[in-house]
Amino acid sequence: MVHTKSFDLTGFQRDLLYVIAGSDQPSGQTVQQKLETHIDNVNHGRLYPNLDVLVEHGLVEKGSQDKRTNYYEVTPRGEQLLARRREWENQYVDFPHDSNHEQSDQQSLASSSSS
């Protein structure tokens, strides 16, 4: 199994991971729609190869909702990577430490990392 550090991922791949982690088994189309509110050029040719990278690294699991639609879900390994990333960020950025701010910060990471 490939050892993946969060900084081995591109910013776009991290954003995908954040969106999937903050959603309940989103489809690729749902992930795309959420990203498009903050990132330009999220087309099929960019989205799905990067989702496949996350699946290959064992960070995301892909399942089938129906014959045409897949869903994505963060794996325990992906959750560990997100936790390690947060610990690393906390060394350099002072985030508020109450649970309401932590949830808000986590949701806004996708938007701030694309700026």
Cα separation values, 75 from 20, 60, 102, Å:
10, 5, 20
Please tell me the pTM assigned to this model. 0.73
Could you identify the residue written with the tokens 């909702």?
65
71: alpha, beta or left? (left if phi > 0; alpha if psi -120 to 50): beta
For residue 1, the model assigns a pLDDT of 47
Instruction: Give average pLDDT by consecutive 10-residue segment, the chain, 115 residues.
Output: 64 96 96 94 94 97 93 96 90 72 53 48
For residue 98, the model assigns a pLDDT of 58
Per-domain residue ranges of the chain:
9-113
- Class at the top of the CATH hierarchy for domain 9-113: mainly alpha
